[in-house]
Structures are given as structure tokens and as C-alpha cells.
Amino acid sequence: MLFNLLQVQAAADTAALAETAVAPIQEKTLNLIDMATAGGWLMIVLLILSVMAIYIFGSKWWMIHKAGQIDKHFMDNIHDLIHDGKIKSATELCQRYDSPVARLVEKGIERIGRPLQDIQTAVENMGNVEVARLEKGLPMLATIAGGAPMIGFLGTVTGMIEAFFRMSTAGNNIDITLLSGGIYEAMVTTVGGLFVGIIAYFGYNYLTSQISNLVFKMESTTIEFIDMLHEPAGE
């Protein structure tokens, strides 16, 4: 009788172990929304900075793209109109283009009749105004590129402090999940800050390179315009 009971108990234990062995293990998956929520209120700050960076990059890219579009025969047409004495027509041609290059030439045409040094100074001053207009907003993008990672690190430090505080108040009931959960939440802000900073950094460098190319084109146009004024009227 006792032997039969032991056999029944052993069979029950074996069945229980088999059910435990075949029980499906639920895997946890990372979700962007869950990660952003775990990061706390600093993720809201990083979200705002990312929206600002995308807006600045998009608006400046469009402005630079439009500024660089001008007819390749523009200076040839200006040359012909000026040497034909059609100053008003040359000014009207410049006004058709919403471009820094056209505005520089227009400023120089308005000064025709004055000493060449005065014309060159006026064109250079206008060039400085156009460059300042193109660079407007870039310091903010550079600030986001440098500030977003630091905000992320701040969230990491505060998250680690909170994790160790929970462990210190747990007493003898320390659970590894207290530390791992706190580290997970802390690292989320670092990832968010680096993500925003990298986007802003590459966007800033791209825009500055495009502005440099446009400035080179403006300088070349200025030299060409001044040389044009040095030519004899009969040419």
C-alpha cells in the first residue's frame, strides 16, 4: 500500500515537472513608447529639442536651396545690360531673383557712378548682411547638438541616484530588479540625448558646409561684378 502511494506521488511530481518544463516563456520586447515613458520628464525636454532641431534644419535647408538657384547666364545678361547703358533693366533683372547673389549685384548697380571703392564696400556690406541672414538659427542648432547629450547624461545620473536610493531603503530585502530597473530607466535618457545630439550635429555641419559654398559663390560674383565695372565702356 505504501509502495503504491509512493508511486502515485512520484508520478504526480514527474507530471508537474513536465508541465513546468513545457510552459512557454514570455519574452519581453523593447518598445519605443515604453522606453520614452521610462525616461521620465526629461524625455519631454529631449522631444521638444528634437522638434526644434528638425524645424531649424528644414527651414534653413530650404532657404539655402532657394538662395543657390539662379540662372547660369545671369551675370552675362547683367554684363550686357550695364555696358548697353540699361541700368534700370539690369536692376529689374536682379529683382526677379530671390537670391543673395542677385541682391549683391543689385546693390552694386545702385552705386554705379560712384568710386569703385565705394561700390565694393557697399557690396561687401550687403554680403555680410546676407551671410548673417543665412546663419540665423544655426547657433541654436549647435546648442541643441551639444546640450541634448548633456541633458541625457543628467537623466542618467538622476536615475542612478534614484536606483541606489531604493536599494538603501530596501534594507535586507534587496532585489536585483531594483538596480536593473533603475539602470534601465537611467540609460533611456542617455540614448535619447545622444540620438537628438547626433541628428543636430550632422545637420549643423551639413548646413554650414552649404552656406560656405554659397558664400564662395557670392564672393566670386562680387569679384566678377567689380571686374565688369573696370572694363572700358566699349567692350
Q: Are 147 and 203 in contact (CB under 8 A)?
A: no
Residue 202 vs residues 49, 56, 83: alpha-carbon distances, Å: 15, 13, 45
**Better-scored residue on pLDDT, 3 or 59:** 59
DSSP 41: T
Of 220, 210, 235, 204, which Cα lies nearest the Cα of 68?
Answer: 210
Q: How many residues does the chain have?
A: 235
Quote the percentage of the chain above a pLDDT of 90: 20
Closest of 119, 135, 134, 132 to residue 68, by C-alpha: 134
pTM, to two decimals: 0.74
- Extents of the domains making up the chain: 32-230
Instruction: Please state, in angstroms and rounded to a whole number, the distance separating the CA atoms of residues 193 and 152.
Output: 4
109-163 pLDDT, tens digit per residue, is 888 878 888 888 888 888 888 888 888 889 999 999 999 999 888 888 887 777 7
CB-based burial label for 119 (10 Å; 0-12, 13-18, 19+): buried
51-93 tens-digit pLDDT: 999 999 999 999 888 887 777 788 888 888 888 878 888 888 8
Please state, in angstroms and as integers, the Cα–Cα distance from residue 158 to each residue in 16, 42, 143, 227, following that order. Answer: 45, 10, 22, 63
pLDDT for residue 180: 65
- Distance between CA atoms of 84 and 98, rounded to whole angstroms? 24
Comparing 50 with 230, which gets the higher pLDDT? 50
